[in-house]
Amino acid sequence: MLLVDLVRTRAGLTGTHVGCDTTSCGACMVLFDGRPVKSCTLFAVQADGHAVTTVEGLKQGGDLHPVQAAFKEHHGLQCGFCTSGMMLVGSALLAENDDPGEDDVRWAISGNICRCTGYVNIVKAIQAAGAELRGADGPDRSEGTTGEVTA
Amino acid sequence: MYPSAFDYRAPRSVDEALDVLAEGGDEARVLAGGQSLIPMMKLRLASPGLLVDINHLGGLDHLARNNGHLAVGALARHADVAASAEVAAANPTMAAAARWIADPLVRNRGTLCGSVAHCDPEGDWNSVMLAVGGEVVARSRTGERTIPAVDFVVDFFTNALAPGEMVTEVRIPVATGRTGGDYLKLERKIGDYATVAVATHLVLDDAGRVAEAGLALTGVSGRNLKVTEAEQLMVGQQPGEELFAQAAEIASRACDPTDDVRGPRSSRGCYSSTWSAPGPG
């Protein structure tokens, strides 16, 4: 069983998508111990003992993560199929660098393909989320909730 | 898409891994990053009966200088190599190549050693290895041996490992003196395999002549192609545009690419000619 199947069918978390199934598109992206990976290219058993974060883990209590709010505000999605991956990789980038330049963002998302937007508003949204995180007085919101996976 | 059924073992020590590999024989394959093997299994281009997952093995993720070479452990991920100050200081060709391997997501899992062992002619690392004179350390239950890259990269997806052997480390010579190098990769889109790529390596002596030259190509043949004739042309000469143009011409003639989705054969030969003409570092 591939990790993406465990996430979607056993855990019922369908925010993670199967796009190409050939390790190209990144729609299946999850965070594996905080690092973006393509969940269609890992076996579920390999997650044993590791922390896997899906897009459902971005929300903090009832509140949208700044990345989610920014995608909404800046029209960072059209069909939404790549969006889970884009928001997760954006959150991972911002956890390391909350003031990324355009090139930094484009490099970080270069493993995620979008067929709709032309990437312009995706970049804007991630940068805007960074600005929000830099300005936020509250607790650090750049980490999503994570769950331990024991196979 | 789903792989054929397979057995799975996750040994906790290198010795255990070697035992399992030896017992598994032809059916056993090592799983490190899996970013080449798992896609092949999903397409059923590879159907190993036994996967030996080495991700739990300690002491294999090193990236460290040792005796004049840079030792890259079997679990060092491409992302670690790309981010490493040790790599940047040790070898310009390697440093240039690291960030162009696939895309950031694949780089977070895939390993340099795995890529080297996989021997995909579209893979980038073996061109680097051939250009700079890297070595592969292979271990089995009965011992350990060091295999120069030029002997390790045998053919299309074929390496020189014997049954029961596992790559534990790759060694890259640390640059000394006047060393330059680069890795130029032409790709249709970011993250793609190379349409064509060139690894170059040059060491100049005190008089400014070429003491060592390495030139290897990705995606132009059934395996990563070390252009020995071009290398030998350059040794002993003063570097210059005309010399490099001659080397490029030889490299271009040495190519034997196939038509595939990344372009017809003629265009690949042309690209490698243009690109094989770097300046020294």
Two tokens, residue B24: 């598994």
How high is the pLDDT of residue A13?
Answer: 97
What is the rounded CA–CA span in Å between residue B168 and residue B145? Answer: 10
Which letter does DSSP use for residue A144 in this model?
P
What is the rounded CA–CA span in Å between residue B29 and residue B46? Answer: 10
Residue linked to tokens 């397409």: B43
Residues on chain A touching B12 (C-beta within 8 angstroms): none
Cβ contacts from A onto B, under 8 A: 65
Predicted TM-score of the model (pTM): 0.91
pLDDT digits (tens, 9 = 90+) for B10-53: 999 999 999 999 999 999 999 999 999 999 999 999 999 999 99
Q: How far is A138 from chain B (nearest CA, A)?
A: 30
Q: How far is A15 from chain B (nearest CA, A)?
A: 18
Q: Residue A151 — very low, low, confident or very high, per pLDDT cuts 50/70/90?
A: very low
What is the rounded CA–CA span in Å between residue B278 and residue A67? Answer: 42
Q: Residue A136 — very low, low, confident or very high, per pLDDT cuts 50/70/90?
A: low
CB B23 within 8 A of CB B145: no
Residue A21 in this model has a pLDDT that exceeds 90 = yes
Residue B260 in this model has a pLDDT that exceeds 90 = no
Closest CB from B39, B79, B108 relative to A23: B39
How high is the pLDDT of residue B90?
Answer: 92
How high is the pLDDT of residue B133?
Answer: 96
The one-letter code for the residue type at B145 is R
A89, B55: Cβ pair inside 8 Å? Answer: no
pLDDT digits (tens, 9 = 90+) for B120-139: 999 999 999 999 999 999 99
Three-state SS at A68: helix
Two tokens, residue A1: 């069983």
ipTM confidence: 0.90
Residue B268 in this model has a pLDDT that exceeds 70 = no
A22, B10: Cβ pair inside 8 Å? Answer: no
- Which of A16, A23, A97, A105 has the most B C-beta neighbours within 10 Å, making it the best mutation to test the interface with B? A23
